Chains A and B, each alone.
Chain A
Amino acid sequence: MATNTFSEASPKEFPVVNPSATGTGRIRMNSRSRVVVTATQALVAVVVLLAWEFVPQIGSLSQWKLLDPYFISSPSRVGATLMNLLLGREGVPAVWGYLGPTFLASIIGLVIAMIVGGLMGLLLGSFEFAGAVFRPFVVALNAVPRIALIPIVVVLFGSGLQSSVVIAFMVVFFVALFNAYEGARTVEAHVRHNVRLLGASGWDLMWRVRFPYSLAWTLSSLPVAVSFAIVSVVTGEILTGVSGMGLLITAATNAADTSMTFAVIIVLSVCALLMLWIADAFKRRVLHWWIQSE
């Protein structure tokens, strides 16, 4: 086909996630080697934690900045701070009041962006003309450094939940759009021709044939999208002082409290994992046909 608009450009410009590459997200193994792998992973984690805790205590190694617990903290201190943060004790504020807005903004921004971006991508991928017309605009918009727009967003939407949602949306929107676009275009000519000959309208072709592929590609980009959403919301909070996990990081940085910074990072990571886990369960249900036909 003549126009191959986004597909030439997007892989370089944006991380389009090819769902067939991620597959089930795991390498298939027999259960014995899986046990060995899990055990090795646990071992690696323990070794890293032990090294982090005890290497700086060897001789005068902590003289070196990179091994100075003042800068890098230690697992035991991070653990203690994390407990304080979770329970809101010993003068540390409870994390929940901060996590709430960040988590909520990330989820709302993510969901709206996935739906709106996914639908836009599906439309652009289904109608060659629309794709050809809008491609340069989309690519140009995607090249805009979104962080630079944060002040404008705050002026427009105030410094609150709304701003955070808009910031997450701006970033995730393009991930969804590019993936839905690519997915819509993977439908091969003979499959399109077949359904057209069976009486499908252009609308049928879009919703009944292209949409499932767009959905598969868009959902496969969720791991990227989830982390983008959280990163952009936290960045926004750091820059604007909107209450949230970003504010905790700012406070910890001002107080030179690296244990607190690490504790906040751990909470955010767990949060991201939780979102990914939900997303993966959703994908397994909806896309069993895709996962199974690998």
Chain B
Amino acid sequence: MTHLSEFSTRPDSETGRAAGASIEFRNVGYRYPSGLHAIDGLDLSIAGGQSIGIVGPSGCGKSTVLSLIAGLREAQAGDILVRPDQSGRHLLSMVFQKDTVLPWLTVEQNVKLHYSFKKGSGERRRGLSRRAIDQRIRELIAMVHLEGFEKAYPYQLSGGMRRRVAVLTSVAAFPQILLLDEPFSAIDEPSRVAIHQDVFDIVRELGITTVLVTHDLAEAASMCDQVYIMGPRPTSVFSKHEIPFGPERDMMTLRESADFLDLYSRLWRDLHLQIDASHESESTRDDAEGSH
């Protein structure tokens, strides 16, 4: 595990813990311009430095929730509050579900993309030397086993490697908030667990508030502090599960513990219910359309 202490947020005076940016949704509703009702009455409360997982049936609106947090779309109903912390770090970056790696840049150039923009280099001046950042980024690249590929172009990488570059590009901005939309789905199981560990450690160390959308319940359970199971579209929270594994976790052994398996089966039960509910609502929607 690498130490990224130079980046740590200022400790809260009482608790000594990093404050972190917080996110709150109050009764949020969103409709796409096409009229499709994606989100209805959604409440979320994510404390600074926490990691939450969002799981739900396909097409229920999880990616839409992330785009609302990122400010890429504007909700028509309710309030969304994003409170930055005091660190002055870059506010938010996101790993998109679709490929965002820029094909004409090398792995290293992609990962450092944030620092190549005026805004990013301004942040650099605020605290860190270029050297310190380069050092951190080298560590990150090594962490996800991309060393030796720094000068490679994306077309020379495998699908899983490209995915890791996309994750690193967002992490390397050392944001206050990190949004992850099924970031690890193209990565094989053993490397995936290793990357879970790495991302988890960085996120803890820096006090990054993280929202992880995934279809992998084990991933959500091992990386998050809370997991939300979402209902069918228009989506809202069906159930919220506290994950009791604390800030020090070993991903490899965690999965072998009875507690983990117990939690997994509880999560699965809820998800199963929502998948069934989403199939039902789909078929009634089809019926309604058919009767016209």
Please provide the 8 A-B residue pairs with the shortest distance between their CB atoms, ordered closest to farther: A199-B119, A194-B100, A293-B155, A292-B155, A199-B117, A289-B104, A198-B114, A199-B120
B288 at the interface (CB under 8 A from A): no
Contact A190 B103 (CB under 8 A): no
Chain B interface residue count, Cβ-Cβ cutoff 8 angstroms = 29
Give 11 new A-B contacts, CB below 8 A, not counting A191-B100, A193-B94, A198-B170: A194-B100, A195-B100, A197-B92, A197-B93, A197-B94, A198-B120, A198-B173, A212-B102, A289-B104, A289-B154, A292-B153
Question: Please, could you name 29 A-B residue pairs with CB atoms under 8 Å apart, sorted by A?
Answer: A190-B97, A190-B100, A191-B102, A193-B96, A194-B100, A195-B100, A195-B102, A195-B117, A197-B70, A197-B92, A197-B93, A197-B94, A198-B90, A198-B93, A198-B170, A199-B90, A199-B114, A199-B120, A200-B119, A201-B119, A208-B116, A212-B102, A288-B153, A289-B104, A289-B153, A290-B104, A293-B103, A293-B154, A293-B155
Which chain A residue shows the least CB distance to B120?
Answer: A199
* Residues of A close to B70: CB separation below 8 A: 193, 197
Of the residues B67, B98, B113, B155, contact of A198 by C-beta under 8 Å: B113
Give me the interface of B with A, judged by CB distance under 8 Å: 67, 70, 72, 90, 92-94, 96-98, 100, 102-104, 113-114, 116-120, 123, 153-156, 169-170, 173
- Residues on B with beta carbons closer than 8 Å to the beta carbon of A208: 116-117
Tally of contact residues, A, Cβ under 8 A: 20
Nearest residue, chain B, Cβ from A292: B155
- Report the separation of the CA atoms of residues A194 and B72 in the bound assembly, to the nearest whole angstrom: 10
Shortest beta-carbon distance, B47 to chain A, in Å?
Answer: 22
Residue pair B153, A204 in contact (C-beta under 8 Å): no
Q: Are B117 and A209 in contact (CB under 8 A)?
A: no
In the bound complex, residues from chain A placing their C-beta under 8 Å from that of B96 are 190, 193-194
| Chain B min CB distance to A163 (Å) | 38
> Are A193 and B72 in touch, CB under 8 angstroms?
yes
Which chain B residue lies CB-closest to A200? Answer: B117
Give the number of A-B contacts (CB < 8 Å).
68
- In the complex, which residue of chain B has the Cβ closest to the Cβ of A205? B117
CB pair B103 A198 closer than 8 Å: no
In the assembled complex, A188 has its CB within 8 A of some CB on chain B: yes
Which residue of the partner chain A has the closest CB to B73? A193
B118 touching A201, Cβ below 8 Å = yes
Chain B residues whose C-beta falls within 8 Å of the C-beta of A200 in the assembled complex: 117, 119
Inter-chain contact B113/A195, CB cutoff 8 Å: yes
- Contact assessment for A289 and B103 in the assembled complex, using a CB-CB cutoff below 8 Å: yes
Contacts of A199 in B (CB 8 A): 90, 114, 117-120, 123, 173
B155 in complex: contacting residue of A193, A197, A289, CB < 8 Å:
A289
Kindly list chain A residues whose C-beta atoms are within 8 Å of the C-beta of B120. 198-199
CB-CB under 8 A from A212, the residues of chain B are 102, 104
Q: Which residues of chain A are near B118, meaning CB under 8 Å? A: 199, 201, 204
- A215 (CB) vs chain B CBs: closest residue: B104
Chain A, 166-196, contact with B by CB distance < 8 Å: what is the 0/1 string?
Answer: 0000000000000000000000101101110
CB distance from A211 to the nearest CB of B (A): 10
Which residues of the other chain, A, contact B155 by a CB distance below 8 angstroms? 289, 292-293
Q: Which residue of B lies closest to A193 (CB)?
A: B72
Min CB gap A76→B, angstroms = 50
**Min C-beta distance of B51 to chain A, whole Å:** 19
Q: How far is the CA of A194 from the CA of B100 in the complex (A)?
A: 7
Residues 267-294 of chain A, each 1 if its beta carbon lies under 8 Å from chain B, else 0: 0000000000000000000001110110
Least CB distance from B195 to A in Å reads 19
The closest CB in chain B to the CB of A287 belongs to B104
Specify which chain A residues have a CB less than 8 angstroms from the CB of B113 in the assembled complex: 195, 198
Distance (Å) between the CB of A1 and the closest chain B CB? 10
Minimum C-beta distance from A19 to chain B (A): 13
Name the A residues within 8 Å of B116 (CB-CB).
Answer: 208
Tell me which residues across on chain B come within 8 A of A288, comparing CB atoms: 153
Q: How far is the CB of B149 from chain A (nearest CB, A)?
A: 15
